[in-house]
Structure 1
Amino acid sequence: MFIWLASYPKSGNTLVRALLSSYFFSNDGIFNFEIIKNIKQFPNSELFENIGVDLSNDNDVIKNYIKAQASINKKSSIQFLKTHSYLFNINKNPFTDLNNTLGAIYIVRDPRNVVTSYAHHDTITIDESLKRMINNIQIGGNLNSNNTSDRTKVYLGSWGSNFKSWKSFEKIGKYLLIKYEDLINNKEETFKKILIFIHDLKKIKFEINQSKFENVLKTTSFNNMKNLEKEEGFIESKTNKNTGEKIPFFNLGAENNWERKLDPKIVNKIEKFYETEMKELGYL
């Protein structure tokens, strides 16, 4: 069954996947970009093509979400799926179910930092980035893309609806909230918290592999991943529409500080629109 790694874009999902893939899918805990491929994105066009779904028919794709998950569900092994989708129910078609889902880890980041990171990632203005964050939008759906993750539509929702939707797993004790800021400022304890949660879901005794754990922490540092991207490239980085050049995926990390970089008018809009959620998360 799957443990979902859910988040709004540019919130730390890649770092969590790097930590988990290095720990569970390597012998030594040393991170590389090949290892992260063990954690697939959902929805992903390959899954639907494998079960004969027409990707050009959005309704047909949504109707087959559960079937696509069931087709790769291995009940006994630890499996993770990354998603930026909100946890929806469209026309009575659910995003997932408890036959396929073991639990959910939701990664959240201060929206005042998401807005700048998202703008950089997609080569858009801060205003456009904010517009996306406060509206229920879809991304992907480019059937001509070489990247299988971009060929199916992802229903993001807004920043707030994305966050709130996944909290439904909290009611049944299958939810862990992880803040990006804790991953950066207290990585060791936060990663240990994630591992304990996974072991609890699997109902297996938590015993840490200390040498592997230390290697994971060391090799998933922001600087190490940034250097790896420079040397090898990273499949999830996008291309600048104007210049044709690759946009660095690992750009500023913790240096992306809204207090230094964000127009006070944008700050005010975000804080006003998401006051309730930000207070709940301790961002206000």
Structure 2
Amino acid sequence: MGRSAAPFTRPPRAYSAWPTLVKTHLCVGHEFETPTININATLAAIYIIRSPLDVAISFSHHINKTIDATIADMATLNFWIPSRKRHVYEVIGTWSQHVGSWVGLISRPVHVMRYEDMLTNPIRAFGQLARFLRLSPTDQQLMRAIENSSFSELKRQEAEHGFNERPPMAKSFFREGKAGQWREILSPAQIERIVQAHAPMMQRFGYLQPDCGGAITLPTID
């Protein structure tokens, strides 16, 4: 007769003093009367915002749609991405709806980072993030963290090891990582559609000149 197995005992769970960091694409809201984000389990949030003019280009690549179709999706209330083999569907909403749902939280602190500022002045942008997280890195530590998470480094790692969040229809997850590509890619009509749909939120975060309801001055293609 074989030996009987010893009863399984689970080792004591180790609890970290640090909170768990979770990345999400979801907007804050409800789906089938269920919160998309469990605020009761949320200590704070870091929200990265990017100009919808560039988002339209990047997002079209991500979901494998034309730019025109993507612009329409970004203006569709409660827009959601269908489920895939390894991902459940995601409630995104319009670009403005998504931004507003996070920056409008009043029960939790939200640190907003503009994607463009992360590129132009990473020391300042990530230094502010470190302070928000109650960290005190040295200049060398901050620079090393920025270099190790740079777009070129992430793209290199994806080419070497792959990236499990890459949609099956996309050639790569990390594409260009630049700001202002809309000036070279979008047509004047596409720019106008995006601006007309999202002008108030774009103005709030510096993507359009402030305007109190008059005629909107469209950004120009240089």
The bucket for the TM-score relative to the shorter chain is 0.7 to 0.9
Deviation of 1:215 (Å): 1.6
Report the counterpart of residue 252 of structure 1 in structure 2. 176
1:220 aligns with 2:149: yes
Match of 1:141 among 62, 83, 89: 83
Matches within 5 A, 1:1-284: 76-90=17-31, 92-135=33-76, 136-142=78-84, 145=85, 147=86, 150=87, 152-169=88-105, 171-172=106-107, 174-199=109-134, 206-240=135-169, 247-254=171-178, 257-284=181-208
Deviation of 1:97 (Å): 4.5
Q: 1:230 to 1:87 in 2, by over 3 A?
A: same
Deviation of 1:94 (Å): 2.6
Q: How far apart in 2 are the matches of 1:256 and 1:247?
A: 22
Higher radius of gyration, 1 or 2: 2
Amino acid at match of 1:158: T
Secondary structure of the equivalent of 1:157?
coil
Unaligned 5+ segments in structure 1 are 1-73, 200-205, 241-245
Q: How far apart in 2 are the matches of 1:263 and 1:207?
A: 45
Structure with greater proportional helix content? 1
Q: How far apart in 2 are the matches of 1:172 and 1:271?
A: 30
Amino acid at match of 1:109: R
Unaligned 5+ segments in structure 2 are 1-14, 209-222
Q: Deviations over 1:128-183 (max 9, x none)?
A: 111110112111423xx1x2xx1x221111111110011232x3461111110011
Secondary structure of the equivalent of 2:146?
helix
Deviation of 1:123 (Å): 1.7
Q: How far apart in 2 are the matches of 1:77 and 1:219?
A: 21
Secondary structure of the equivalent of 2:43?
strand
Q: 1:219 to 1:160 in 2, by over 3 A?
A: same
TM-score (norm 2): 0.79
Question: Pairwise CA RMSD of aligned residues?
Answer: 2.2
Q: 1:162 to 1:98 in 2, by over 3 A?
A: closer
Report the counterpart of residue 57 of structure 1 in structure 2. none
Deviation of 1:120 (Å): 1.4
Contact 1:225–1:250 under 8 Å retained in 2: yes
Contact 1:87–1:165 under 8 Å retained in 2: yes
The size of the alignment, in residue pairs, is: 194
Q: 1:109 to 1:255 in 2, by over 3 A?
A: closer
Q: Deviations over 1:261-283 (max 9, x none)?
A: 11110001111111111111110
Amino acid at match of 1:154: E
Contact 1:110–1:283 under 8 Å retained in 2: yes
Secondary structure of the equivalent of 2:23?
strand
Secondary structure of the equivalent of 2:40?
coil
Q: How far apart in 2 are the matches of 1:249 and 1:256?
A: 19
